A and B are shown apart, each in its own frame.
Chain A
Amino acid sequence: MGRYVLRRLLQLIPVFIGTTFLIYWLVWSLPGDPFSGKCGDRPCPDSYVAAMVEKFNFDDPLVVQYGKYMLNVLQGNFGETFRGLDVGELIGEAYPNTIRLALVALAIEAVIGLAAGVLTGLRGRGFLDNLVLVSTLFLISLPVFVTGFVLQITLGFELKWIKTTVSASPAPWEHLIVPGFVLGSLSMAYVTRLTRTSIAENKRADYVRTATAKGLRQRRVVGVHLLRNSAIPVVTFLGTDLGALMGGAIVTEGIFDIKGIGSLVYDGILGKEGVTVTGVVTLLVMVYLLSNLLVDLLYAVLDPRIRYD
C-alpha cells in the first residue's frame, strides 16, 4: 500500500507540470492587451508598461516565464495582480467559501441521491420509480444556470424564502443551501441513478439471501449487507465529484454572487489577470488529483478484494 501511494504521488508530478503549463500558456495567450483600460481612458504610459513587463517577465520566452512562476508557487508565493494585490491572499479569502458551497452540494447529493436510489432500487417498478426516473432525467438535461436562475427568481424574488444573493464572506452555511442544491443537482441525479441500479443489481445477490437465511432483520440485511456492497461505486463517484464541484462552482457562484474562487477566476479572465487565473486553476488541479488518489485508496478500503502492490 505504501509503495503504491508513493508511486501514485510520483505520477502526480508530470501530470501537475503538464496541466499547469497548459493553463499558463492558455491564459497568457488569451487575445487582447492586458494593459488596455488599466489606466483610465488613456493608454498606459510606457513607464508603467515597462515596469509591468519587467515584473511579470513578459520579455522571457513562455517556458522561462512559466519556470519562474512555478518556482515562486512552489515556495508558496502565488504572485501579485497588476494592481499589486497578493494572489495567495485573494485565494485564501475566496477558497473557504467555495469549499463550503461544494461541501453543502456534496452533502445534498449524497443524502438525497442515496435515499432516493435505495428506495427506488428496493421497490422496483412502480409510481415512485417512474417519478424518480423522470425527475432525474429532467435535472440531468437542465443546465445549471437554468436551475440556478429559476430557483433564485421563484424562491428569492417571488416567494422571498431565501436571500437572492450571498455576498457575505465567509458565506453563512444556511445561505448556501439553495446554491448548494443548484450546484449539486446534476450529480444528485447521477447518484440517484447509480444507487438505484446498484441496489437493484445486488438485491437478489446470493449473499443477501444468505443474510436473510441467517435470521437477520430486514433493516440489517439492507442497511449493512446490501448497502455496503452497493455503495462502492457511489462513494467513489462522490469522491471524484468533490473536485468537479469546486471547479464547476463558477456559474453557481456567479448567479448567487458568492465570493468564491469561481468569481475570482471569472473576474481574473475578464481583467486578463493571468496570475490569478493560473493560481486558482493550479490549486483546483491539485485538489482534483489528490481527491482522485484518495478515491482510489478508498476503493481498497471499501472492497477488500482490491489490493494494490
Chain B
Amino acid sequence: MTTTQSEVDFEGTAPVPGAPLLEVDNLFVEFRTRDGVAKVLNGVSYRVEPGETLAVLGESGSGKSVTAQTVMGILDMPPGVITGGEIRFHGENLLKASPKRRREVRGSGIAMIFQDALSALNPVFTVGFQIEEQLRLRKGMSRRDARKRAVELLEQVKIPNAKGRVRQYPHEFSGGMRQRAMIAMSLALDPEMLIADEPTTALDVTVQAQIMDLLKDIQVERNMGLILITHDLGVVAEVADRIAVMYAGRIVEQSHARDLYRKPGHPYTQGLLDSLPRLDLKGTELTTIKGLPPSLLNIPKGCPFNPRCPRVQDICKTEVPPQHRLAPGRLSACHFAEELISGD
C-alpha cells in the first residue's frame, strides 16, 4: 500500500509530534521597490527549542527583524515577498497555513515584543484594555475576569500598583514600565515562544539590565523558547544559549554562546567582538570594522563580507562560502572557518 492522497496533502501542514518548537529553514525574502529588488534574506535557517534562548545578532539591515516579522506573519507585503523556504512551528509549515491558522498561532503560539514600546502600544487605549482585548476576544473571558488576569500579568512583570496601572494610558508609563507592560501583553495568551525585537535598545542601561533579567526569569519559569534580536553583544553574553550572527541577509555564524565568545568562527564575528569597548584597554582607540554593510540591492559577488574582510582571499570574491560545520551545533559561512578556530 502506498500512502493515501490525504496524507500527502497534509504533509508539512499539521503539527508533527517531537518536531522542534520553531525551525526557520532556508528562508528567502525580497523587497521589491522602485529602485530594484533588495534581497533582504538569503537562506536564513535557525531553530529554537523550548526553554532555549537564541540571540540573533547583526547590524541594522542585516535582516534580523525581517526574519522575525516573517515568522510572525507581520511582514509588510508588498513590498516584501517570500521567495523560498519554510517556517515550521512544531513541524507545521506556517507559510502554507491558512490565514486563520496563522492568526491562531500569533499571540498564543508565538508572541512578539518590540523595540519601542511607546509606539508599539496604541496611544488611545489603556494598557489594561490592550491586554484584556486578547483575553476577551481570543479566550472568551468576561470583562471582569480579563481585568483580573491583566492585573496578575502586570504583577508578574513586577509593575508596582498594578491595579491602578491597568487604567492608565501608555504615555503615563515610564520607558522601562512601558516595556514591562508590553511583555505582560505578550504573555497574555501563554505563548510557547517569544520573539523580542531589540527589547532594550530604547532604554537606559540600568533599566536594560532589569528588563533582560525579567525576560530571563519569565522564560525559565514558563520554559518558553526565546529569540532575542539585538545588536548589543553585551546584552547577549548574559542570557543567550546560542547565538546566530547575521550579515547581509545570511547567518554567517551560529554557535553556542560560550564557544563564540572564546573563539569566533567568522571574521565578521571577530570584528564585532574586537569593536567592544574594554576596560583593560582604556585609552586606546576602539577597533572598528572598516567600510559599510553592503546595499541589499547589490550584494557583492562571492562572500558578502569580502570587501570588509581583513582575511580576504581570491576565492572569497568569486564563491559564496558554504556553511562549515565546525562542531555539533556550530556553523560558520567562511571559507577559512576551520583555520580561524584552530589557528592562533
Contacts and interface: CB of A to CB of B under 8 A. Distances in A.
A216 to B, nearest CB: 7
B106 A207 contact: no
Nearest to A205: B119
Residue of A205, A302, A303, A304 contacting most chain B CB atoms (<10 Å): A304
A304 B123 contact: yes
B122 A210 contact: yes
A214 B120 contact: no
Contacts of A220: 137
Contacts of A3: none
Interface stretch (B89-97, B107-115, B243-251): B107-115
Nearest to B99: A218
Given A207-B119, A210-B114, A210-B121, A217 B103 contact: yes
Nearest to A228: B124
Nearest to A213: B112
Contacts of A206: 114, 116, 119-120
A228 B138 CA distance: 21
B124 A213 contact: no
Contacts of A304: 123-124, 126, 169, 171
A225 interface: yes
Contacts of B72: 213
A284 interface: no
Given A204-B76, A206-B114, A206-B116, A215 B134 contact: yes
Nearest to B126: A304
Interface in B53-111: 72-74, 76, 103-108, 111
Interface residues of A, number: 22
Interface string B45-57: 0000000000000
Contacts of A55: none
B111 A213 contact: yes
Contacts of B125: 225, 228
A303 B124 contact: yes
B137 A210 contact: no
Contacts of B73: 212
B123 A213 contact: no
A214 B107 contact: yes
B106 A215 contact: yes
A229 B123 contact: yes
B122 A213 contact: no
Nearest to B119: A206
Interface in A173-209: 204-207, 209
A232 to B, nearest CB: 8
Given A206-B119, A229-B124, A305 B106 contact: no
Interface string A11-45: 00000000000000000000000000000000000
Contacts of B259: none
Given A215-B138, A216-B134, A305-B169, A209 B105 contact: no
A211 interface: yes
Residue of B122, B134, B189 contacting most chain A CB atoms (<10 Å): B122
Contacts of B107: 213-215
A208 to B, nearest CB: 8
Given A204-B76, A215-B108, A216-B133, A210 B120 contact: yes
B185 interface: yes
Interface string B136-176: 01100000000000000000000000000000010100000
Nearest to B75: A209
B120 A207 contact: yes
Contacts of A210: 114, 120-122
B69 to A, nearest CB: 8
B124 A302 contact: yes
A236 B116 CA distance: 29
A93 B114 CA distance: 60
Contacts of B124: 228-229, 232, 302-304
Contacts of A229: 122-124
Given A209-B74, A214-B107, A303 B138 contact: no
B105 A215 contact: yes
Contacts of A302: 124
Nearest to A203: B76
B134 A214 contact: yes
A210 to B, nearest CB: 5
A207 B169 CA distance: 13
A215 B120 contact: no
Contacts of B137: 216-217, 220
A99 B311 CA distance: 80
Contact of A207 (B121, B133, B188): B121
A20 B114 CA distance: 55
A217 B138 CA distance: 10
Contacts of A217: 103, 137
Nearest to A124: B78
Nearest to A207: B122
Nearest to B104: A215
Given A206-B120, A209-B114, A215-B104, 12 more contacts: A206-B114, A207-B123, A209-B74, A211-B122, A212-B73, A213-B106, A213-B112, A215-B134, A216-B137, A229-B123, A303-B124, A305-B123
9 contacts: A206-B120, A210-B114, A215-B106, A215-B138, A216-B137, A225-B122, A229-B124, A304-B171, A305-B123
The 5 lowest CB-CB distance pairs between A and B, nearest first, are A215-B107, A215-B106, A206-B119, A207-B122, A206-B120
